[in-house]
Structure 1
């Protein structure tokens, strides 16, 4: 990985079940330009030590500087890890095929802070990276990842093959995904040419139509060449919107989950929150958008399935505001609840009614409100003056309950 550093220590997440075998540091001569011609070929012997902090799930690389600060450096890390049975990071899943035979698959679940279980990285949402993935897997299995397969597949040995995937756009590390299985996939294409593959047949038409709907709704073409959708019996979430590889729990309501996670491909992947304090922007916007797509855009669906659930959840003493402080990523798991999803969607639907639908199709919460203010100068508040979206929305996002 290339990292721009201003000091001689680099901290990376990766202390969860990873054994660091060696670390090498290369220095690049220029400060900002991305040019391989200036990369130093020989290893700079600058590494002093790697100190592991397993309780904090990170390790720090301490090394001396032979050049001035602010250079780009390539850090090559050789490490090993485990395939767990915890449903987080890279884990083993089991399923039964049509013949009743029990099969084993390998899959990943990295949200919110478990990409570090698979690879040393920075996996907070504000850090972006492009990922080039190569998977060595048993013959007879198929590997899928975020990028589309390249022509690099080949045999490593008699029992193993290698699959290579195109480099992804810059994305948050928790969206990195891999599935290795014996699933049979069926394929289709959107009108814009995106290949959509499914490990289950019932979602083919709905999945394609969802992608087409959101491309049209946002007026932004889906930026990847393909989107895989894989159902897993052993899965900790209902669904996960990994860019290019959505994963579902087999028992999920497929069409409903597919609508929501297709919306996340824009709200949570193409545009990502800076930190988990504003998780509701991801989840609330995706839930609100899904209620405008294929089967659930009518008010008579939204009211019982979002608004009523939000009011029920917000009426109890344990409720919390939409925006609240999250000190570490592990705490955000508790925020995946009806307040974040249903109240978030309900507040956004209310805001749409206030400023008008024509202004709404247009991320940090304050950035969002500022954008709305730019396009709704003609909307008046109760005092007759121009409405400030920040003042209006903060009453609903920073306070609990609905009274």
Structure 2
């Protein structure tokens, strides 16, 4: 659930980033104008006017951009076109600034027309070579405009690449998040509920299985016709007592109380085995542990005997220093005798240790057998005592019912009782579909 919420938040954030990356052209143009990027703003406005030629607002904005770029004649044409599209001039947020701009463009275009007339008269009087030189002046503004257009194209292409990369990253992240989401059924399939630890679920399953085992043993006891009723009642009491203990430990699993559960489960198995007349699992386990211990002890003793025999069979090397020696070397003789004594002592100690361990093991076995016999004897005595009490109780009830005599029953009677800027980017985004008559609208964003 948490991963799904994080994925949804990531998608929303990415969509917001995408919306910011591809904001409407109106906001981009406004940003370019406020930042003084006139060539880029002019390019965007041309694109907008191709789609919305009847809207007065982009004509007005382009008139301001062209004026800033020094293209006064074109600026005056765009301003006149905006006024023609919207005679009410709602496209201007500042009427005084609009009037000042119209006056500047009129004065500038009038001076430009006068200068053009003078230049044409001068050119008419000039010679033909001079006319050829003057006829093709190199404009100074297109080169920056082309460079700005190229820069704008590169910026748009970069935004497109960023957007595509962000979408790819988002899709890959969502796929991996969905694939790595853990399946909540793992713990349920192991016998527990969602959110339950595997250890608690395993112990709960074992306890419930032993409760069912006791129920099966009780059915077996009740289905034995040759079994005394007192023994059946005793079996019923023991099974209910142990089932209550198992159910209480199932409830205690919520507090992670796992201590002593193995012993309780073994008690349930032993009781079910006693009732169904089978061998106790605890006895089977004890014999297996004793057999494993005996095998391990035999392996250790065999290894010890092998080491002792190997040490006794090793030859004793005596060095003859000189063939002309007149008698045995006392040091060598003492060393040989000491080594032999050490080997004999080691072998004797190992043999004594082995005998002591065997005696201890036999004593432990005798104690276990005596304890088992004592437990079995106490269990039989308890069962016989319980059966005797049940028989006495039955006899007392039968004697009481036989000795009691009374009159008949009376069942009759009645049942009654009581901030400022040099650029005007305000105005209304509306225009007229033709002429000075107004009417219609061509909104853009």
Give TM-score scaled by structure 2 length: 0.17
Structure with greater proportional strand content:
1
Higher helix share: 2
Q: Which has the higher contact order (CA 8 A, sep 6+)?
A: 2
